[in-house]
Chains A and B, each alone.
Chain A
Amino acid sequence: MKALVSVKRAVDYNVRIQVKPDGSGVVTEGVKHSMNPFDEIAMEEAVRLKEKGKITEIIAITVGGAKNEETLRSALAFGADRAIHIKEEGEIQPLTAAKALAAAFKKEGAQVFFAGKQAIDDDANQTGQMVASLLDLPQATFASKVELDGNKATVTREVDAGLETLEVDLPAVITADLRLNEPRYLKLPDIMKAKKKPIDVQSFSSLGVTPGAGLKTTKTSAPPKRSKGIVVKTVDELVAALKGKGLL
Chain B
Amino acid sequence: MTYASPFYDKDHEEFRAQARRFVEKEISPNIEAWETAGSIPRELHQKAAEAGMLQVGFPERCGGIEVPDLFYGVVLTEELARSGSGGVIAGLMSHGIALPPICHVGSPELQARYARPVLEGRKIAALAITEPGGGSDVANLKTRAERDGDHYVVNGSKTFITSGMRADYLTCAVRTGGAGMGGVSLVVIEGDTPGLSRTPLDKMGWRCSDTATLYFDNCRVPVANLVGRENQGFMAIMLNFNQERIMLAAQAYAFAKVCYDEAMDYARSRETFGKALIRNQVIRHKLVDMRMRLEAVKANLDLVTWRVSNRQIPIAEVCMLKNFACTSLEWIANEAMQVFGGAGYLRGAKVERIYRETKVLTIGGGSLEIMKDLAAKQLGM
B14 interface residue, CB < 8 Å from A?
Answer: yes
Main secondary structure of the interface of A (DSSP, over half): helix
Residue of B nearest to A192 (CB): B11
When distances are taken between beta carbons in the complex, the residues of chain B under 8 Å from A74 are 14
A34 interface residue, CB < 8 Å from B?
Answer: yes
B67 interface residue, CB < 8 Å from A?
Answer: yes
Q: Is the CB of B52 within 8 A of A187?
A: yes
B21 interface residue, CB < 8 Å from A?
Answer: yes
Q: How far is the CB of B21 from chain A (nearest CB, A)?
A: 7
Q: A32 to B20: give the CA distance in the assembly, Å.
A: 14
A191 interface residue, CB < 8 Å from B?
Answer: yes
What 1/0 flags go to B40-59 for Cβ under 8 Å of A? 00000000001111001000
The 8 Å CB contact of A188, one of B2, B10, B52, is B52
Q: How far is the CB of B83 from chain A (nearest CB, A)?
A: 16
A150 interface residue, CB < 8 Å from B?
Answer: no
Q: Is the CB of A185 within 8 A of B11?
A: no
B17 interface residue, CB < 8 Å from A?
Answer: yes
What 1/0 flags go to B1-18 for Cβ under 8 Å of A? 010000000110011011
Given A32-B2, A34-B17: A188 in contact with B11 (beta carbons within 8 A): yes
Residue of B nearest to A183 (CB): B21
When distances are taken between beta carbons in the complex, the residues of chain B under 8 Å from A185 are 18, 21-22, 50-53
B72 interface residue, CB < 8 Å from A?
Answer: yes
Residue of A nearest to B11 (CB): A191
Q: How far is the CB of B338 from chain A (nearest CB, A)?
A: 26
B65 interface residue, CB < 8 Å from A?
Answer: yes
Q: Is the CB of B65 within 8 A of A187?
A: yes
Q: List 8 A-B contacts (CB under 8 A).
A: A32-B2, A73-B14, A185-B18, A186-B52, A188-B52, A189-B65, A191-B11, A192-B11
The count of residues in chain B whose C-beta lies closer than 8 Å to any C-beta of chain A is: 17
A70 interface residue, CB < 8 Å from B?
Answer: yes
A residues with CB within 8 A of B = 32, 34, 70, 73-74, 77, 185-189, 191-192
- 10 interchain residue pairs of minimum CB distance: A187-B52, A185-B51, A185-B18, A188-B65, A191-B14, A186-B18, A188-B15, A191-B11, A185-B22, A189-B65
Q: A34 to B10: give the CA distance in the assembly, Å.
A: 12
When distances are taken between beta carbons in the complex, the residues of chain A under 8 Å from B67 are 188
When distances are taken between beta carbons in the complex, the residues of chain A under 8 Å from B65 are 187-189
Q: A34 to B20: give the CA distance in the assembly, Å.
A: 13
When distances are taken between beta carbons in the complex, the residues of chain A under 8 Å from B21 are 185
When distances are taken between beta carbons in the complex, the residues of chain A under 8 Å from B51 are 185, 187
Residue of A nearest to B26 (CB): A185
Q: A187 to B15: give the CA distance in the assembly, Å.
A: 8
The 8 Å CB contact of A77, one of B2, B14, B50, B72, is B14
When distances are taken between beta carbons in the complex, the residues of chain A under 8 Å from B50 are 185
When distances are taken between beta carbons in the complex, the residues of chain B under 8 Å from A192 are 11
Q: A185 to B50: give the CA distance in the assembly, Å.
A: 8
When distances are taken between beta carbons in the complex, the residues of chain B under 8 Å from A77 are 14
Given A185-B21, A185-B52: A191 in contact with B15 (beta carbons within 8 A): yes
Q: How far is the CB of A93 from chain B (nearest CB, A)?
A: 29
> With contacts A32-B2, A185-B22, A187-B52 known, what are 6 further pairs, Cβ within 8 A?
A185-B53, A186-B14, A186-B52, A189-B52, A191-B14, A192-B11
